[in-house]
């Protein structure tokens, strides 16, 4: 099919307009077929962007090095261009929409000369599902196309679901490196010094220029599925969240689904693919990064994972930390900015074994462990199909979603926050989500223990004013007749006086999930104790057999230090004040109630 044959007039007109602006050498409508994927991977190998990995070790898999100036999301170059500055809020970079369009049109003019313009129709969520949405990405990067093949549902079937008049989110992307006649390309084209990742929430449109990397270029991911979708969700009465979804089944065969939001470096993917250590319990993965939730006709909050793949951070992933993730990327995967061994396999720090001699690092140089320089970039990534995960849930592609019984929040806190506590109510749970914070490390931020607030783990991803976002959560919970999940806050990272972690984490976190599971059906203080910050588990309610935890360790993990919590109240109040009149009074009331309980 050619773009001129498209039945959707608005889509056909938009493609023609963007082609006139970007001036590509040719236009290709992507059909999403395996043949297309293989052909484009072959082109990427020929251009030097891809290197095939060992067929014996990683069949049908490829490795890429990015430009050193294009290795991660660029939050300082990410913009929310709402019509009014106050609608973007204090946590987003804002620019006036017409002025930003003027800048972007200047950058995109002729940006695809000498390149192919790929038109990528894609569905976030199962094609045709009630919770699913359609986007169309225009890109001049074959790397983007093949990654989108893994991360979304791509191709002609999406166009059929769109029909002649369906809604779609237009997404324009260019690496910003036009080619003159006869000019040789580079393996990783980008305009590393001029990047713009721009969202127009009222228009429901995305423009991304200059980067070929991950969340900057795979526009179905953070750009659509969170920033634009969060604005859509606000207007349409649903939730688009930076959350994992897992299913947990007890020994009697009863199953519940849990969503969870964690800032970076807090173990989100590990929890999504957890293997329980307690006998008879099973955890299955629905999604590891993004969740869309909407109330069903029965009043139950139901959720889908809108993605079709995992775009995970590679360093630290190993057979001990996440065997299910390792199994997911054994074939049909793409690796970016990892190291490559002499056997043509991938390697990264924390993979569980030393780098073999003659390993090549992510910048194409011989890796020397003694140099102190990493073999893999700290943000090195794998792109792997979700269906390859051995723990994938049977319902992960249910177009109606899975019923959510609990929502977890978590952060990296060495002190103050106990191992787990449960909210008293929906508004109290929203309060807990709004104060999510992690303590920085000295290496990362220069000040050990400094708190970085990341409410609902959405700080970089909320497409509108976060004060309004909190208000939307409160409104969702006020829906008449709704069956509301319970809220919990977990902290796997509590430390003792010697600086060591008190809780073993990883598979042992299943012990906390067991308590959460049981509390979903409990009333009052059954299996719990009421404290000023919420319900904490009673010692008898936690499955602790086999753990090497002393009484003093348990006291620290399961206690509420009133003075430490009192000391934190001013920083919460200051954070709330930053949202001015947009801060919901309901959450300010929750803060006042916490203050009173701590004084009581």
Which one of 266, 338, 389, 462 is the catalytic residue?
A: 266
Read off the tokens for 502.
């008190």
Return the H-helix or E-strand segment holding 406: strand 402-410
Distances (CA, A) of 343 to 299, 309, 347, 352, 376: 54, 26, 11, 17, 16
DSSP codes of every residue in 306-357: --SEEEEE-TT--TTT-HHHHHHTSSS-EEES-EE-TTS-EE-TTSSSPPPT
First vs last C-alpha separation in the chain: 70
DSSP-assigned letter for residue 392: B
- Write 73-77 long-range contacts (CB < 8 A, 24+): 73/197, 73/213, 73/214, 73/215, 73/216, 73/222, 73/460, 74/195, 74/197, 74/211, 74/216, 75/460, 77/195, 77/196, 77/197, 77/210
Distances (CA, A) of 4 to 7, 11, 21, 155: 9, 10, 17, 16
What are the two backbone dihedrals, phi and then psi, of residue 528, each rounded to the nearest 5 degrees?
A: -145, 165
146 neighbors 385 (Cβ within 8 angstroms): no
266 has catalytic annotation: yes
Alpha-carbon span 217 to 200, nearest angstrom? 16
Cβ atoms within 10 A of the Cβ of 26, count?
Answer: 10
212 neighbors 175 (Cβ within 8 angstroms): yes
Which position has the token pair 């794998």? 382
Judged by DSSP in three states, 185 sits in: coil
For the chain, what is the radius of gyration of the CA atoms?
A: 24
- 89-101 in b/e burial notation, b at 16+ Cβ within 10 A? bebbebbebeebb
Angle among Cα 488, 543, 517 to the nearest 5 degrees reads 40
114 neighbors 490 (Cβ within 8 angstroms): no
- List all residues 6 or more positions away from 75 whose beta carbon is below 8 Å from its beta carbon: 93, 460
**Which residues does the annotation mark as catalytic?**
266
């Amino acid at each position: 099919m050619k773009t001129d044959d498209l039945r959707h007039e608005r889509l056909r007109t938009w493609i023609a307009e963007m082609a006139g602006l970007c001036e590509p050498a040719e236009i290709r409508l992507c059909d999403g077929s395996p043949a297309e994927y293989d052909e484009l991977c072959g082109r990427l190998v020929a251009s030097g962007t891809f290197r095939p990995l060992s067929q014996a070790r990683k069949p049908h898999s490829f490795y890429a090095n990015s430009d050193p100036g294009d290795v991660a999301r660029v939050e300082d170059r990410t913009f929310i261009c709402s019509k009014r500055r106050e609608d973007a809020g204090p946590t987003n970079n804002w620019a006036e929409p017409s002025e930003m369009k003027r800048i972007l049109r200047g950058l995109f003019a002729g940006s695809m000369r000498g390149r192919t313009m790929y038109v990528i129709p894609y569905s976030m969520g199962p094609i045709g599902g009630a919770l699913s949405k359609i986007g169309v990405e225009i890109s001049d990067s074959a790397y983007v196309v093949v990654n989108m093949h893994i991360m979304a549902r791509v191709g002609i079937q999406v166009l059929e679901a769109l029909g002649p008049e369906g809604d779609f989110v237009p997404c324009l992307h260019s690496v910003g490196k036009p080619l003159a006649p006869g000019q040789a390309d580079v393996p990783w084209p980008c305009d590393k010094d001029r990047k713009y990742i721009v969202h127009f929430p009222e228009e429901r449109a995305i423009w991304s220029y200059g980067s070929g990397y991950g969340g900057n270029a795979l526009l179905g991911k953070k750009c659509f599925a969170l920033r634009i979708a969060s604005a859509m969700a606000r207007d349409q009465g649903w939730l688009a969240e930076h959350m994992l979804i897992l299913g947990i089944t007890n020994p009697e065969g009863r199953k519940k689904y849990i969503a969870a939001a964690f800032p970076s470096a807090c173990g989100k993917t590990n929890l999504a693919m957890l293997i329980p250590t307690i006998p008879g319990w099973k955890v299955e993965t629905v999604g590891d990064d993004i969740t869309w939730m909407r109330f069903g006709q029965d009043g139950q909050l139901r959720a889908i994972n809108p993605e079709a793949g995992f775009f995970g951070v590679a360093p630290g992933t190993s057979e001990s930390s996440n065997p299910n993730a390792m199994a997911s990327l054994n074939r049909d995967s793409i690796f970016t900015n990892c190291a490559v061994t002499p056997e043509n396999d991938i390697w990264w720090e924390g993979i569980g074994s030393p780098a073999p001699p003659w390993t090549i690092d992510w910048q194409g140089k011989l890796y020397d462990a003694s140099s102190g320089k990493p073999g893999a970039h700290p943000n090195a990534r794998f792109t792997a199909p979700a269906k390859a995960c051995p723990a994938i849930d049977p319902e992960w592609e249910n177009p109606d979603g899975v019923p959510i019984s609990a929502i977890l929040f978590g952060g990296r806190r060495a002190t103050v926050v106990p191992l787990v506590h449960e909210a008293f109510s929906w508004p109290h749970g929203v309060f807990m989500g709004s104060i999510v914070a992690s303590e920085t490390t000295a290496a990362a931020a220069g000040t050990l223990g400094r708190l970085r607030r990341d409410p609902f783990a959405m700080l970089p991803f909320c497409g509108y004013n976060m004060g309004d976002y909190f208000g939307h959560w409160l409104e969702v919970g006020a829906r008449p007749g709704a069956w509301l999940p319970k809220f919990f806050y977990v902290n796997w990272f509590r430390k003792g006086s010697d600086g060591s972690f008190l809780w073993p984490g990883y598979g042992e976190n299943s012990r906390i999930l067991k308590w959460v599971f049981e509390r979903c059906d409990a009333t009052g203080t059954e299996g719990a104790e009421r404290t000023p910050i919420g319900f904490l588990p009673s010692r008898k309610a936690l499955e602790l057999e086999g753990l090497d935890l002393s009484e003093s360790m348990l006291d620290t993990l399961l206690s509420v230090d009133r003075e430490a919590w009192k000391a934190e109240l001013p920083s919460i109040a200051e954070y709330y004040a930053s949202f001015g009149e947009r801060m919901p009074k309901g959450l300010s009331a929750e803060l006042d109630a916490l203050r009173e309980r701590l004084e009581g």
